[in-house]
Amino acid sequence: MIHLQQLTLRRGEKDILRGVDLHVNQGEQWTLLGRNGCGKSTVLEIINGYLFPTSGTVDVLGSRYGQVDVREIRKKIGYISPSLIEKLTLRDPVWEIVVGGALAYLRIYEEVPDALRERAHDELERVGLRALAAQPFGTLSQGERKKVLLARTMMAEPQLLILDEPCAGLDLYERERFLDALSGLSAQNLSMLYVTHHIEEIVPLFTHVALMSEGQIVASGPKQAVLTPERLKAAYDLPISIYWQDSRPWIRVGEEASI
Ligand SMILES: Nc1ncnc2c1ncn2[C@@H]1O[C@H](COP(=O)(O)OP(=O)(O)OP(=O)(O)O)[C@@H](O)[C@H]1O
């Protein structure tokens, strides 16, 4: 699904990426963790074809970037970036925002076929928001808006879902509802790459973790193998205790590493 090999990205005097390797296979659901500024969003922008590495190779959904029209690949990728909400029109009804995902439009200016309108309502149903379909997008809570983005993204039937800190700014309740909605969407033919600062967001849905530090992936693989106190300490420069409950990790910052 995603194969990044030895990616580097240099901007001026700064090496933003310093040899990133990442291999995401079909049916795997990944989270990408790392401190502020370590290069996570840059990696996502490269995968979406908005940034090009200085060196290294990028293969996404079987195509090598540089040899294909990335706009074609982008149609198969659902990308929920922090700036997406700002591009949408707050007075548009929720169902129209969702329909826009199928047409790759930010606003709808044409008659929407009934079948598409129905699909938008079905996607809203999947994330538990059908009742809000006619409401202006701007009247929804932050958590509801994030779930609308999810429904919108699924309209394009992506094979890859890339989410950059989708739960940022959500309260505990909204965060859990969002993660439930995301878990409800998971399917064998959909892979995810989810960036977060919060280890407890690595719900059972997620199978793999990549840990980034200073422009490199310092560990990657099945989540239980990667999320060890030693590795987290190295990545975050803090003593961190971790314990698992129902395949979900919880952390505590502190010296006593044996919870
Ligand atoms: N155009 C640019 N020119 C110079 N430096 C840049 C440019 N774009 C990004 N950077 C730097 O690259 C580094 C990585 O940024 P990036 O946004 O990928 O980090 P991140 O891990 O997503 O951070 P955060 O968790 O804070 O969102 C940062 O230090 C940032 O300042």
Mean per-residue pLDDT, 96-106: 81
What is the pLDDT confidence band of residue 254, given thresholds at 50, 70 and 90? confident
Ligand 1 center–CA 245 separation, angstroms: 33
Pocket probe mutation, ligand 1, options 42, 48, 216, max atoms within 8 Å of Cβ = 42
What mean pLDDT comes out for the span 105-133?
86
Domains along the sequence of the chain with CATH: 1-76+158-226 (3.40.50.300), 84-157 (no CATH)
Looking at residue 108, its pLDDT comes to 64
For the stretch 30-63, pLDDT in tens is 999 999 999 999 999 999 999 999 999 999 999 9
Q: Does residue 16 contact residue 55 with C-beta atoms inside 8 Å?
A: no
Cβ of residue 16 lying under 6 Å from some atom of ligand 1: yes
Could you read off the pLDDT of 187-236 as tens digits, one per residue?
A: 667 899 999 999 999 999 999 999 999 999 999 999 999 999 999 998 88
For residue 32, what is the enclosing H or E element?
A: strand 29-34
How many Cβ atoms from other residues are within 10 Å of residue 78's Cβ?
Answer: 24
- Residue 7: C-alpha distances to residues 15, 20, 57, 179, 227 (Å): 11, 5, 7, 30, 23
**Higher local confidence (pLDDT), 88 or 162:** 162
Q: How far is the CA of 37 from the centre of ligand 1 (A)?
A: 5
pLDDT one-digit tens code per residue, 137-185: 999 998 899 999 999 999 989 999 999 999 998 899 989 999 998 998 8
* CB of 83 sitting under 6 A from ligand 1: no
The interface predicted TM-score of the complex, written ipTM, equals 0.94
Note the pLDDT of residue 259. Answer: 46
Q: Whose CA is nearest to atom 24 of ligand 1?
A: 36
